[in-house]
Amino acid sequence: MTGQVVVAADSRSWVEVEKTLGPGSWVFLRAGRWVARYEVESEGAARKFVTQLRADQHPAVAGPPDSARAVAWNKWNRPTRVGSRAEVCFPWVFSEAEIVIEIDPGLGFGVGNHPSTRLLLEELDHRIHEGDSVLDVGCGSGVLAIAAVCFGASAAFGIDINEAGLIAAQANARRNGVSGKTRFSAVELREVVGKFDVVVANIHDATLRGIADDLIAHMAPSGWLGLSGVSPGQVSRLRSAFPNIDFEEVKEMGEWNALIGRANIE
């Protein structure tokens, strides 16, 4: 059985791709993005080529080797709609949204389609004001920080303990043309300097409760806090860890919840 390699590139980098895979038939996706599909001798060969291409910083993936698996592959690779104007998608996926946010997670977490991520993406889309500063705690692939800048934030800082995720986040920032407005670091939250108009964290309930004071300490007085990654049964306990935050009605998507709140200043 043959294998398939799907790889995205811009008009300059496809020359480098062709050094690995040979001449390809490149299809235009959108401004600055082209995609090619290569048929190779086996699925094993496809995986090896993908590994090699990714090591050279090219977004590539093993495509479906046959029509039976193409349906599931195409479903997994569909863009994720955010609000009325944006979509988050892999670099090799077609999108004609007004705002296209390309995310290749690599070995990091977050492609934008998980409900806990989508909940915060939706909030960022309609709450971000031009010039806002954003802190993304547990940033993974950088999707929330990058999206915030694409929606109008002036700067976003993402932190994570996963080095592979940070590498992916930095590559994704370059891919979306926002490197100048984003930073990513393995620094611990308590060592972050400054306050932010927006603080978001899409991580586990226990971790959120454990860092509650540090999250609040990094909120600007008029800023807002977005917490996600919790189940309905964890919401009350999470609320109680933030007694100085006035939370809105719980945001729900599937079996996941998010809390959005502002500091209770009297």
pLDDT at 107 over 70: no
- Where is the domain boundary, 51, 76, 101? 76
Quote the strand ranges of 73-218, DSSP E: 80-82, 86-89, 99-102, 133-137, 155-159, 182-185, 196-202
3-class state of residue 192 by DSSP:
coil
Task: Examine the domain organization and report whether 57 and 129 are in the same domain.
Answer: no
- Where is the domain boundary, 47, 76, 105? 76
The boundaries of the domain holding residue 8 are 3-76
148-172 mean pLDDT:
95
In this predicted model, what pLDDT tens digit does every residue of 232-248 receive, in sequence order? 999 999 999 999 999 99
CATH number at residue 219: 3.40.50.150
Domain-embedded: residue 86? no
pLDDT classification of 110: cutoffs 50, 70, 90 = low
Ramachandran assignment for 34, one of left (phi > 0), alpha (psi -120 to 50 degrees), beta (any other): beta
Q: By C-alpha distance, which of 154, 141, 139, 259 is closest to 189?
A: 139
In this predicted model, what pLDDT tens digit does every residue of 133-156 receive, in sequence order? 999 999 999 999 999 999 999 999
Domain-embedded: residue 225? yes
What per-residue confidence (pLDDT) applies to 108? Answer: 54
Question: From CA 141, how far away is CA 191, in angstroms rounded?
Answer: 21
Beta bridge mates, 61: 6
User: CA 134, 259, 235: angle at the middle one, nearest 5?
Assistant: 140
Task: Examine the domain organization and report whether 173 and 244 are in the same domain.
Answer: yes
Tokens 């791709």 correspond to what residue?
17
Task: Return the minimum-mean-pLDDT range out of 1-15, 104-118, 144-158, 197-211.
Answer: 104-118
Question: From CA 262, how far away is CA 226, in angstroms rounded?
Answer: 9
3-class state of residue 141 by DSSP:
coil
Task: Examine the domain organization and report whether 8 and 132 are in the same domain.
Answer: no
Task: Examine the domain organization and report whether 123 and 31 are in the same domain.
Answer: no
Domain-embedded: residue 129? yes
Question: From CA 216, how far away is CA 185, in angstroms rounded?
Answer: 20
Task: Examine the domain organization and report whether 60 and 146 are in the same domain.
Answer: no
Q: By C-alpha distance, which of 125, 127, 183 is closest to 158?
A: 183
Question: From CA 5, how far away is CA 40, in angstroms rounded?
Answer: 7
Which residue type sits at 72? A
Task: Examine the domain organization and report whether 62 and 146 are in the same domain.
Answer: no
Task: Examine the domain organization and report whether 135 and 212 are in the same domain.
Answer: yes
Task: Examine the domain organization and report whether 122 and 178 are in the same domain.
Answer: yes
Number of structural domains found in the chain:
2
For residues 78, 79, 83 and 86, what is the CA-based torsion angle, rounded to 10 degrees?
A: -160
Task: Examine the domain organization and report whether 139 and 241 are in the same domain.
Answer: yes
Task: Examine the domain organization and report whether 71 and 142 are in the same domain.
Answer: no
Tokens of 68: 């039976």
Query: pTM for the whole thing?
Result: 0.93
pLDDT at 185 over 90: yes
Question: From CA 146, how far away is CA 166, in angstroms rounded?
Answer: 12
What per-residue confidence (pLDDT) applies to 73? Answer: 86
Give the chain's mean pLDDT: 93
Structural contact between residues 36 and 14, judged by C-beta atoms closer than 8 angstroms: yes
In this predicted model, what pLDDT tens digit does every residue of 5-34 receive, in sequence order? 999 998 889 899 999 999 989 999 999 999
Domain-embedded: residue 158? yes
CATH number at residue 30: 3.30.70.2030
- Where is the domain boundary, 19, 46, 76? 76
% of the chain beyond a pLDDT of 70: 97
Task: Examine the domain organization and report whether 15 and 134 are in the same domain.
Answer: no
pLDDT classification of 109: cutoffs 50, 70, 90 = low
State the Rg of the chain over Cα: 20
Domain-embedded: residue 98? no
Domain-embedded: residue 92? no
Domain-embedded: residue 109? no
Question: By 3-state DSSP, what share of the chain in percent is helix, strand and coil, each rounded to 5?
Answer: 35, 30, 35
Which residue type sits at 16? E
Task: Examine the domain organization and report whether 121 and 253 are in the same domain.
Answer: yes
Domain-embedded: residue 83? no
